[in-house]
Chains A and B, each alone.
Chain A
């Protein structure tokens, strides 16, 4: 496939963005657009050690630039930038990454346990921030362990009179923990600047990207991922559903505040995509019964998506796992306002149910891009274009991130959109 060289980068940028916006609005674009979530593939493609992707953001940016400019997708994710140095400073216990408990040449993985014990709901409900600072962070970050010595935060009110917990700040260990936070913050800021400079450079070269990190979570996912763990949250549905519900309600305003922060970022960069990515996961088919989904998940998920859309943001929902049985619920959301990217959900069934209501993205499994031949990938993508791409409202996409995919297969997926995916 020849490269798009006859147009200026500015023209190409607008064409690519419009192609995606048309698909979102359920119009028929000039051709089927394609989005890539490259994961660690840029590092492999550039032949750099995977470990360096976690320590050298400039190198990762250069590697990603090479892959994007070689393959020319319509949009890509520029949010992978995860700093191993920040994790080291914090001495986090919730992550394994190359050289730190994880295999040297592979992606980072999360470690999870019941950070919050079954009998700690009351403490959390009384004051979530206090709980996070004095109970949660001291467990999850070795460098923040001294925070468990802090007194109750309610007493901060008396500091202005020289009272309250003022003497706690004289404790050298507590102070060292605050200094560590400062150091971690500076390192995170350095990474942020490098990443945003890269995002802007790519925009100038004609490539829009998904650049706002996913922060909002359905309260149930938040509780399951960060507080009670998968096991604990599942038991709570049976053993203490009332407390679980109270925690869900307690977290909702915090999530709605993040939506406001997202809106501010989106408004500050009007030329950039209004998309923000988000990946609900623990409400997927095998993780809950339909009844539990209604009871603990969907109503809050629906409210959050509605709030995001109301702010002028376009949710890019990555429906992790299989949500085939939940598809009907999505019809309760406004038409033509979001992208539904699917992982292992039956994409053809999704088209049947959601076609004409939501833009659908997906259909190419990342395992296929790793193990199949170029011809097999092309044939499969043609079928997707014919069936799921019919009448527009479709974006070609692979399932999970492409850490181990063969670059020639990814190229075949992208090129098939350009060669075969043109609408008449």
Chain B
């Protein structure tokens, strides 16, 4: 039955997936076990996205189905489910920019790849990044932005991280800007840039000492 949920959810069959979850809970199965299967399915969704088999609508839809599943499971979970995490990442769209699509895709992909993500949302002032790095001790920071105005905002954020004495404690990646390249990375003062979410995952894995 656990294979059923993994396959059904990974194939985005919403009604069937929700029914399996209901049935398993009604049959007395532990909610945490069901949730673990759902997470396995989401990992497959992430892999299919990385392979070019799935696109953004599939990520959005799987996220919605997952919401339905956690709504069923939440009352049955005695305590917050804990998963083994491979590293922490502070993420956000920089000050002045309110675009969040790319940000949330990177969040999704980092999450299904085992990272603990602190997503600060959009239009995040540099100081908020600094505060969150201090609070969480995250060794990786992801700066997102869609508009060209974000390039200077990213630069200012990196400068403040440096001024706060944290620059050597973190690796910083940037992404979202169309045609972001090494020139932009150097201008901003970041450690890496990515043109898609898969590049972000590869960098995060490399920086945490894992395999690419």
Contact = CB atoms under 8 A, between A and B. Distances in A.
B147 A107 contact: yes
Interface stretch (B74-82, B92-100, B158-166, B203-211): B92-100
Interface in B134-173: 147-149, 151-152
Contacts of B12: 238
B181 interface: yes
Contacts of B152: 404
B22 interface: no
Interface string B40-63: 000000000000001111101100
Interface string B113-152: 0000000000000000000000000000000000111011
Contacts of A399: 178-179
Interface string B10-47: 00101000000000000000000000000000000000
A238 B183 contact: no
Interface string A336-376: 00000001100000000000000000000111101110001
A224 to B, nearest CB: 11
Contacts of B184: 367, 370-371
A404 B149 contact: yes
Contact of B178 (A109, A230, A344): A344
Nearest to A96: B98
Interface string B173-190: 000011111011011000
B64 interface: yes
A235 B56 CA distance: 10
B179 A368 contact: yes
A221 B153 CA distance: 29
B186 to A, nearest CB: 8
Nearest to A233: B57
B97 A109 contact: yes
A299 interface: no
A103 B122 CA distance: 13
B202 interface: no
Interface in A226-281: 230-231, 234-235, 237-239
Contacts of B99: 109
Contact of B57 (A102, A289, A403): A289
A404 B12 CA distance: 42
A287 interface: yes
Contacts of B14: 238-239
Contact of B56 (A238, A239, A286): A286
Residue of A231, A239, A402, A405 with most chain B CB atoms under a 10 A cut-off: A231
A287 B56 contact: yes
B178 A287 contact: no
A234 B60 contact: yes
Nearest to B99: A109
Given A109-B97, A287-B56, A400 B178 contact: yes
Contacts of B55: 286-289, 292
A235 B60 contact: yes
Given A286-B56, A400-B148, A371 B61 contact: no
Given A286-B56, A292-B55, A367 B181 contact: yes
Contact of B151 (A102, A109, A292, A371): A371
A344 B61 CA distance: 26
Contacts of A96: 98
Given A367-B148, A400-B148, A234 B56 contact: yes
A106 interface: yes
A321 B95 CA distance: 22
B183 A376 contact: yes
B101 interface: yes
A230 to B, nearest CB: 7
Contacts of A109: 97-99, 147
A106 B95 CA distance: 11
Query: Most chain-A Cβ atoms within 10 A of its Cβ — which of B148, B152, B178, B186?
Result: B148
A237 B180 CA distance: 30
Contact of A292 (B57, B96, B179, B183): B57
Interface string A275-304: 000000000001111001000000000000
B113 to A, nearest CB: 18
Interface of B: 12, 14, 54-58, 60-61, 64, 95-99, 101, 147-149, 151-152, 177-181, 183-184, 186-187, 196
Interface of A: 96, 102-103, 106-107, 109, 111, 230-231, 234-235, 237-239, 286-289, 292, 321, 343-344, 365-368, 370-372, 376, 399-400, 402-405
26 contacts: A96-B98, A102-B96, A109-B99, A234-B60, A234-B61, A235-B57, A237-B57, A238-B61, A286-B56, A286-B196, A287-B56, A288-B57, A289-B55, A289-B57, A289-B58, A365-B179, A370-B151, A370-B184, A370-B187, A371-B151, A371-B186, A372-B183, A403-B147, A404-B149, A404-B151, A405-B148
Given A235-B57, A287-B55, A405-B148, 13 more contacts: A109-B99, A109-B147, A235-B60, A287-B57, A289-B58, A292-B57, A365-B179, A367-B177, A367-B178, A368-B181, A368-B183, A372-B183, A399-B179
